[in-house]
Amino acid sequence: MKSSCEITNRRSHRTGSTGSTAIDVMLASIMLLVVVASGYLSVTRHDVAMPQNARIVVVGSGQNLWSLAEENPVQGLDTAQTVALIRLMNSKNDSGLNPGEAVIVPTASNGH
């Protein structure tokens, strides 16, 4: 009788790296779709009103709340205060952002 390790080894040799790469790409695509859809749904809920002086941005790779605040200055607020405003507008308990996440930010009111 063959052990489960021998059976597993044979299966992995049969699929080869091409099969596993295609599956990895497909799973990554599905995960990305879920992340984008969850971000989209989180800002399109019907129980949340969009503030008048705001817009939705999709977080890019490497962006964080500080960079979003710098890119969307609010007259009379410094960057730290704008970060706090963005957190409040999005009901975020922490500063974590994920690429592809949709975030409500104040519209630039400072001539930018």
The predicted pLDDT at position 81 comes to 92
For the chain, the first-to-last Cα distance in angstroms comes to 73
Bridge partners of 58?
102
Q: Is the Cβ–Cβ distance between 105 and 55 less than 8 Å? A: yes
The predicted pLDDT at position 28 comes to 74
Listed as ranges, residues in the chain with pLDDT below 70 are 1-19, 33, 35-51, 108-112
What pTM value is reported for the model? 0.52
Nearest to 35 by CA among 98, 93, 103: 98
**Vertex 14 angle, CA 9 and 17, to 5°:** 95
The predicted pLDDT at position 110 comes to 46
Three-class secondary structure of residue 2 per DSSP: coil
